[in-house]
Amino acid sequence: MFSTEMSLFLSYILVISTFGQASYDHYRLPQTLQPQHYNLRILTHLEDEDRLSFSGEVEIELRVLQPTSNITLHAGSRLQMTSNRTNLYYMDENGNKKKIGVRAVERNSKYDYYILVLGKVLEPRQNYALYIQFFASFGGGMSGYYASSYKDQNSNKTRYLSVTQFEPAYARTAFPCFDEPAFKATFNITLGHPTKYVALSNMPISKKIPMSGRKNWLWTIFEQTLPMSSYLVCYSVNDFAGLTSRNDFSVEFTTWARASAIAQCKYAAEIGPRLLDHYERMFEIDYPLPKVDQLAVPDFSAGAMENWGLITYREAALFYAPEASSEVDKQRVANIIAHELAHQWFGNLVTMKWWNDLWLNEGFATYVATLGMQKLCSKWHAYAEESLENMMIVLNSDAYYSTRAVSQTVSRASQFAEQFDPITYRKGAVIIRMMHMFIGDTTFRNGLNCYLKRHAYSNADQSDLWRSLSDAAHKFGSFPKYLDVQTVMDTWTLQAGYPLITVHRDYSRNTISINQRRFLMHGLDKTMEKDNFFSKECWFVPISYASRSMANFTATEPRVWLQCDSQGKDIPLEVQSPLGAKEDQWLILNVQLTAPFRVNYDTINWKLIIKTLQGGDFRRIHTMNRAQLIDDALALSWNGYLCYKLTLDLLRYIKQEHAYMPWRAALDHLAAIYRIMKQSPDFAVFQPQHFMNDLLSPIYDYLGGMETEANGRCRHHHIAHKTLINQWACRLALYDCVECAVQYYHRWFISNDPDLANPVPQNLRSVVYCAALRQGDESDWNFLWQRYSNATVASERRLILQALGCTQIEFVIRRYLKIIFDENSSIRKQDISLAFGAIARSDIGFPLAKDYFMNNFSLLTKSFESNYRELAALLLQITRHISSPHDYGALKMFIDCHKKLQKLATRTVRHAVELAQVNLHWRQKQQAQFTRCLKDHY
């Protein structure tokens, strides 16, 4: 034995030096082999909590594309291979196998490669079968094949389950595979487990057979999958209960959760099949699998994961308890299901070729979900509100130097994870919506249908999408001849940022001139621009507009295009007599915000707009555009493009505004200012009797303050609005907000069984808990902590975690920070950032959270198992609030001392620093002007 191993070892050395295997130092697998089919068998051990582990074997059928003398595939470093059990076979046409020698095996930890060095060259068009045995223990993370647990309420015992999370690159940590999205193959999956568990996977069960040699164990064998990417493979062993949806459709739909929570799955089980049916009609392509399972996983790092046929969710994303959850929670459940089901087409049927085009998955799922929600639950106005929300988040986050293009080159696996950000999701969705608007609905649907059919069971990149849409556009003649989809869209996907459009009207000639340049939060700061020289940035911008006399805000199609020349430089545009707007009539660009850009007008036009906003007929301007005007004006003033005097004039109209989105825009910007002003002696002007009191008073009354009865406005579309306004009123201690909150809380505090009956109105709970703790004492905090420990509704638990961060008692905050990061804490890892963010947001909490993070970083690194991406996300929660040179200095020093964080979460760290810089900059350059204007006004 020893000598064979020794000789193997020697030949291994020999191979390395002769063929230089170690020099295969590339982040992509070689294109010499194509996996066709996997036979995967996994045995899962959940019986002994100290030895949670799995073992398995995989047989991969390979087709040779180019001659090769080695086989390179992925296997994560924690996966151990059973020595001498890796074998390669030649397979002839009749399926007969002949063994082929493997000279040596090598592992490359940088790229997770498992390399077999062969004694012969594999010939093209031949088939081989690679057989590998492996085992691993379940680690503590939430990726790959991992174990989760929950407390069974009847027995009070901890129960274990196992589940996979493979996206973006964790399939390799569960079994050896070709773990890139373009290597699609079919899978036969078999799971071995004790009889008392259920086994689930992408496909329906084909049969169950008792395991020989193991009493009370069985093999669950699943049907073969369709060709699919490895990151979409999923399996789970659990003791959950299943809820089968009432079945009007051909697809069997089941929702799974721990038995005591299955009642909370009713809504998910009802809305799921309806959404699926809607997509089948919309895409005109049937869902190709016989079933969908939805699985609620107690420990889950993302919100949900679209594995083909077995969609996994975190509990809070799937559960809805009518008696405890809010209407906003319900909408969130519908939205996340709509998103994951949309992936069954965009992502699963057609997959991006490589991670740089992740937006083809996530942007589409996000956009298509808003269409699905609108169709099924129109009362939520999801299409308009989510579109606007996405737009505003894009406009406010894509204006930093640290942003990136939608389509971004990525190589190392740590970079894949960084792609799951608002640029991919929200900017992706925003530019798809823009396209939808400029090519029209018929062309859009036709183009997508063609794209999905052309690339079904295969992969695509963005050029493939442009091609399908262009074809449709030509067919329907819905796009100007002098443009093509790719030329336009490349300027939006390959370039970072977005333009600021400047409009100058010549009132005597009745013309407008339109220019573009990139918009940045640093604004007119020349020193920043020198380092980041963007001379050539130019976008093809669809320009729609409305005027006072032609206030048609449904005409979203472009009237003109702002274009770029062949060098990529912008071409200024002059438009004659737009819509016959007379000199005393306003003009507004970008009807319903169809494209992501900001607009600055000449002062006269701004004043015309303000006059209408302040008059009685401000509703002639579309709600979305009212939100746009506020958002643009505040953003332009933030960086010096527009004086605060004008912006504050405009903002004052909001006292008559009843719609949610304009308020949301205003308060998001004011929150950023509030965070800085709070730390300044000028804060008094912001304070109650003055500015905010005046702005908020009418809307607080209109929405009925903290009332929820008949006179309090509770219709669905008021709920988010009411929460927002009350949050501010209580935070600034205005009106009777705090008093009401304290009363509600007190009623709960003294009730006999607070875990059974909660008198606080469901839709106001976040505000009430936070306000009560903000001014409450330790016993109030302890009471809520107790409720957290006893709560069974996931959304309620998350809500409480956030509220616990609202306390302003220093030693209680310190204690809470300790609890959050404690190894044995009852707070799951997935919820840490939520609780931490809540502390960082509060006035007293911010410095404590900051110090805690910086002083205990090595401890945090441990508790996050070196997941630097999550750590960087915590850092981001802090830096949002940094605006003093002192705190900024501390931040820089901290980052300089933590090179690993910098290296593994580069973009997030850069963004974090820039957020603080931008605050600092505002404080130095704009705060005085802002304060002066406020003083003049109030």
Catalytic residues: 340
Instruction: From the list Zn ion, ligand BES, none, pick the one residue 612 interacts with, judged by a Cβ distance below 5 to 8 Å according to partner type.
Output: none
Helical pair 660-677 and 623-638, crossing angle rounded to 10 deg: 20
Rounded to whole angstroms, what are the CA distances from 919 to 213, 449, 676, 734?
Answer: 67, 46, 7, 26
Instruction: From the list Zn ion, ligand BES, none, pick the one residue 780 interacts with, judged by a Cβ distance below 5 to 8 Å according to partner type.
Output: none
The residue (of 343 and 731) whose beta carbon lies closer to ligand BES is 343
Cβ 742 vs Cβ 751: under 8 Å:
no
Task: Work out how close the CB of 167 gets to ligand BES at its nearest, in angstroms, rounded to a whole number.
Answer: 4
What is the C-alpha separation between 697 and 483, in angstroms, rounded? 50
The residue (of 145 and 425) whose beta carbon lies closer to ligand BES is 425
Task: Work out how close the CB of 365 gets to Zn ion at its nearest, in angstroms, rounded to a whole number.
Answer: 4
- Give the one residue of 362, 490, 796, 831 binding Zn ion; rule: CB under 5 A: 362
DSSP structure string for 813-851? HHHHHHHHH-TT-SS-GGGHHHHHHHHHHSTTHHHHHHH
What is the C-alpha separation between 806 and 849, in angstroms, rounded? 12
Task: Work out how close the CB of 358 gets to ligand BES at its nearest, in angstroms, rounded to a whole number.
Answer: 9
Of the candidates 110, 155, 94, 105, which has an alpha carbon nearest to the alpha carbon of residue 130?
Answer: 105
Q: What three-state secondary structure class fits 241? A: strand
Task: Work out how close the CB of 546 gets to ligand BES at its nearest, in angstroms, rounded to a whole number.
Answer: 32
Instruction: From the list ligand BES, Zn ion, none, pick the one residue 625 interacts with, judged by a Cβ distance below 5 to 8 Å according to partner type.
Output: none
The residue (of 389 and 602) whose beta carbon lies closer to ligand BES is 389
Of the candidates 162, 173, 171, 216, which has an alpha carbon nearest to the alpha carbon of residue 44?
Answer: 162
Cβ 197 vs Cβ 231: under 8 Å:
no
Task: Work out how close the CB of 275 gets to ligand BES at its nearest, in angstroms, rounded to a whole number.
Answer: 13
The residue (of 111 and 313) whose beta carbon lies closer to Zn ion is 313
The residue (of 360 and 895) whose beta carbon lies closer to Zn ion is 360
The residue (of 163 and 538) whose beta carbon lies closer to ligand BES is 163
The residue (of 46 and 337) whose beta carbon lies closer to ligand BES is 337
Instruction: From the list Zn ion, ligand BES, none, pick the one residue 873 interacts with, judged by a Cβ distance below 5 to 8 Å according to partner type.
Output: none
The residue (of 299 and 362) whose beta carbon lies closer to Zn ion is 362
Per-position b or e across 517-527, b if 16+ CB within 10 A of its CB: ebbbbbbebee
Q: Which residue is nearest to ligand BES (CB)?
A: 303
Instruction: From the list ligand BES, Zn ion, none, pick the one residue 304 interacts with, judged by a Cβ distance below 5 to 8 Å according to partner type.
Output: ligand BES
What is the C-alpha separation between 711 and 703, in angstroms, rounded? 8
Instruction: From the list Zn ion, ligand BES, none, pick the one residue 168 interacts with, judged by a Cβ distance below 5 to 8 Å according to partner type.
Output: ligand BES
Asked if omega into 168 is within 30° of 0 (cis), the reply is yes
The residue (of 24 and 420) whose beta carbon lies closer to ligand BES is 420
**Per CB under 5 A, does 365 bind Zn ion?**
yes
Stretch that binds Zn ion, among 359-367, 581-589, 643-651, 811-819 (CB under 5 A): 359-367
Task: Work out how close the CB of 416 gets to ligand BES at its nearest, in angstroms, rounded to a whole number.
Answer: 8
The residue (of 169 and 768) whose beta carbon lies closer to ligand BES is 169
Which residues contribute to the site for ligand BES (CB under 6 A)? 167-168, 302-306, 335-336, 339-340, 343, 362, 365, 420, 425
**Per CB under 5 A, does 916 bind Zn ion?**
no
φ, ψ dihedrals at 64, nearest 5°: -90, 130
Contacts of 95 (CB under 8 A, 6+ apart): none
The amino acid present at 303, given as its one-letter code, is G
Cα torsion 639, 640, 644, 646: sign: negative
Instruction: From the list ligand BES, Zn ion, none, pick the one residue 766 interacts with, judged by a Cβ distance below 5 to 8 Å according to partner type.
Output: none
Which pair of structure tokens corresponds to residue 50? 């100290």
Task: Work out how close the CB of 419 gets to ligand BES at its nearest, in angstroms, rounded to a whole number.
Answer: 9
Task: Work out how close the CB of 697 gets to ligand BES at its nearest, in angstroms, rounded to a whole number.
Answer: 36
Of the candidates 369, 354, 404, which has an alpha carbon nearest to the alpha carbon of residue 168?
Answer: 354
The amino acid present at 311, given as its one-letter code, is I
Instruction: From the list ligand BES, Zn ion, none, pick the one residue 650 interacts with, judged by a Cβ distance below 5 to 8 Å according to partner type.
Output: none
Task: Work out how close the CB of 310 gets to ligand BES at its nearest, in angstroms, rounded to a whole number.
Answer: 13
DSSP structure string for 295-317? EEESS-SSSEE--TTEEEEEHHH
Our measurement of the distance from residue 66's CA atom to the centroid of its chain's CA atoms, rounded to an integer in Å, reads 39
Stretch that binds Zn ion, among 361-369, 498-506, 622-630, 763-771 (CB under 5 A): 361-369
Instruction: From the list Zn ion, ligand BES, none, pick the one residue 734 interacts with, judged by a Cβ distance below 5 to 8 Å according to partner type.
Output: none
Q: What three-state secondary structure class fits 452? A: helix
Stretch that binds Zn ion, among 360-368, 441-449, 517-525, 716-724 (CB under 5 A): 360-368
φ, ψ dihedrals at 400, nearest 5°: -115, 155
Instruction: From the list Zn ion, ligand BES, none, pick the one residue 303 interacts with, judged by a Cβ distance below 5 to 8 Å according to partner type.
Output: ligand BES
What is the C-alpha separation between 235 and 222, in angstroms, rounded? 10
Token pair 């390399």: residue: 115
Strand order in the sheet with 68-74: 68-74, 113-122, 102-108
Per-position b or e across 24-42, b if 16+ CB within 10 A of its CB: beeeebeebbebbbbbbbb
Task: Work out how close the CB of 279 gets to Zn ion at its nearest, in angstroms, rounded to a whole number.
Answer: 14
Cβ 914 vs Cβ 667: under 8 Å:
no
Task: Work out how close the CB of 428 gets to Zn ion at its nearest, in angstroms, rounded to a whole number.
Answer: 10
Instruction: From the list ligand BES, Zn ion, none, pick the one residue 167 interacts with, judged by a Cβ distance below 5 to 8 Å according to partner type.
Output: ligand BES
The residue (of 279 and 597) whose beta carbon lies closer to Zn ion is 279
The residue (of 329 and 362) whose beta carbon lies closer to Zn ion is 362
Task: Work out how close the CB of 415 gets to Zn ion at its nearest, in angstroms, rounded to a whole number.
Answer: 18
The residue (of 303 and 704) whose beta carbon lies closer to ligand BES is 303
Instruction: From the list ligand BES, Zn ion, none, pick the one residue 227 interacts with, judged by a Cβ distance below 5 to 8 Å according to partner type.
Output: none
Our measurement of the distance from residue 9's CA atom to the centroid of its chain's CA atoms, rounded to an integer in Å, reads 47
**What is the number of alpha carbons within 13 Å of residue 115 lying toward its C-beta?**
25
Which pair of structure tokens corresponds to residue 806? 């609202």
What is the C-alpha separation between 224 and 441, in angstroms, rounded? 37
Kindly report the three-state secondary structure assignment for every residue of 531-564: HCCCCCCCCCEEECEEECCCCCCCCCCCCEEEEE
As beta bridge partners, residue 40 has 58, 189
Q: Which residue is nearest to Zn ion (CB)?
A: 365
Contacts of 664 (CB under 8 A, 6+ apart): 389, 392, 627, 724
Instruction: From the list ligand BES, Zn ion, none, pick the one residue 190 interacts with, judged by a Cβ distance below 5 to 8 Å according to partner type.
Output: none
Task: Work out how close the CB of 306 gets to ligand BES at its nearest, in angstroms, rounded to a whole number.
Answer: 5
**Per CB under 5 A, does 317 bind Zn ion?**
no
Contacts of 881 (CB under 8 A, 6+ apart): 675, 840, 841, 846, 850
For Zn ion, how many residues bind (rule: CB under 5 A)? 2
Stretch that binds Zn ion, among 190-198, 261-269, 354-362, 676-684 (CB under 5 A): 354-362
Instruction: Provide the binding-site residues for Zn ion, judged by CB under 5 A.
Output: 362, 365
